[in-house]
Amino acid sequence: MRVLVTGGAGFIGSVLVDRLLAEGHAVEVVDDLSTGSLANLAPARALGGELRFHQLDIRAPELVDLIVRRRPEVVFHLAAQSSVASSLDRPVFDAEVNVVGSLRVLEGARAAACRKVVYAASGGTLYGEPDASELPVAESRAVSPLSPYGASKAAVLGYLATYRHLHGLDYTALALANVYGPRQDPHGEAGVVARFAACVAEGRECVIDGDGEQTRDFVYVDDVVDAFSRAATRGGGLLVNVGTGVEVSVARLHATVAAAGRSDRPPRHAAARPGDLRRSALDPTRARIHLGWAPWTSLEEGVEAVLAAAVARAGAASEPGRRS
Ligand SMILES: NC(=O)c1ccc[n+]([C@@H]2O[C@H](COP(=O)([O-])OP(=O)(O)OC[C@H]3O[C@@H](n4cnc5c(N)ncnc54)[C@H](O)[C@@H]3O)[C@@H](O)[C@H]2O)c1
């Protein structure tokens, strides 16, 4: 199958590209390299399958022609402005990339008569601040985003349903929990696992925002790309949570990373980030029923992998003649 991955040079997108090539698909990547990098695609290049890279902004009108020329059967749409903080500062830019850019992707998919779009929705921002009784949150909960980023990602769900209705373009929207894995940028706002791993690997003090009792649903990137792969042929017309359903406090996450790195250095607590959710976890029942998906990587295994990558990066940065 020919497939197209927007945001394929990013953290999750590049791991998805590895997976799709390993499955034998011909993969087209569209990415403007604003937060992604060609280095993320090095393992995919080494795999030696059919891979083409197009450096293009998804807002560009040429995207439609490109999709028509390449005629993918399935489009995996992951390119996004994915910072909540930047969406608060620049809501118009956020909407241009996440709403207008997504419409370009849908227009291209429609014009190319693609079979399906699989969309990276955001489970952490879609459902707002759930009551304790609603955790883990199911897809039936009302959508109530609390940031421009959450609103722009949620707006695309309406367009996906509209294109399915009007043009028969199928979709599955995957509401992702807090995704983590070795390629995640430790400086990005979402990457608390990568951030703690980098601190422990480099012998620096870790900083916990707030009291550390806020909870998140940490799901490992390999498990997430497995859900994307399954969604190419299953879960049509559905919003599907991709999370573990388990709440882990940020303090417990820190303890897990510190134990894996044999560090006994206590963390420092900083002020809580304004607007941060108190509790978050996504119920994965629908994913089990409709995608046959379940997460299989334990937090301890996932943290080991992230820490090993952080240790390798710290080692490489400290080699003589290398910039740190
Ligand atoms: N990481 C998470 O925990 C998480 C959680 C929920 C949802 N998501 C969603 O998953 C997707 C991937 O996230 P990620 O963590 O891999 O982020 P990322 O920033 O690593 O990847 C996004 C990719 O999109 C590219 N991109 C950004 N704007 C673009 C544009 N205008 N045109 C073309 N390419 C553009 C970037 O260069 C980057 O390669 C995003 O849609 C994000 O909203 C991520």
- pLDDT tens track of the chain, all 324 residues? 999 999 999 999 999 999 999 999 999 999 999 999 999 999 999 988 999 999 999 999 999 999 999 999 999 999 999 999 999 999 999 999 999 999 999 999 999 999 999 999 999 999 999 999 999 999 999 999 999 999 999 999 999 999 999 999 999 999 999 999 999 988 877 699 999 999 999 999 999 999 999 999 999 999 999 999 999 999 999 999 999 999 999 999 999 999 999 999 999 999 998 778 899 999 999 999 999 999 999 999 999 999 999 999 888 877 765 543
Which residues span the domain enclosing 303? Answer: 180-216+246-317
Asked whether 13 lines ligand 1 (CB < 6 A), one says: yes
- Selection from 55, 43, 4 nearest residue 26 by Cα: 4
Cβ(36)–Cβ(9) below 8 Å? yes
Q: Quick one: 169 and 54 in the same domain?
A: yes
Asked whether 117 lines ligand 1 (CB < 6 A), one says: no
Asked whether 11 lines ligand 1 (CB < 6 A), one says: yes
Q: Quick one: 94 and 204 in the same domain?
A: no
Q: Quick one: 228 and 300 in the same domain?
A: no
CATH number, domain at 140? 3.40.50.720
Q: Quick one: 51 and 121 in the same domain?
A: yes
The residues that bridge with 256 in the sheet, in sequence order, are none
Q: Quick one: 227 and 308 in the same domain?
A: no
Q: Quick one: 106 and 199 in the same domain?
A: no
86 found inside a domain: yes
Q: Quick one: 23 and 145 in the same domain?
A: yes
Strands 74-77 and 2-6: parallel
Q: C-alpha 103: how far from its chain's center?
A: 19
Cite the active site residues: 149
Q: Quick one: 196 and 150 in the same domain?
A: no
What is the count of structural domains for the chain? 2
CA 87-90-192 angle, to 5 degrees, is 35
278 found inside a domain: yes
Residue 320: its pLDDT value, please? Answer: 63
Q: Quick one: 198 and 122 in the same domain?
A: no
Q: What is the pTM of this model?
A: 0.97
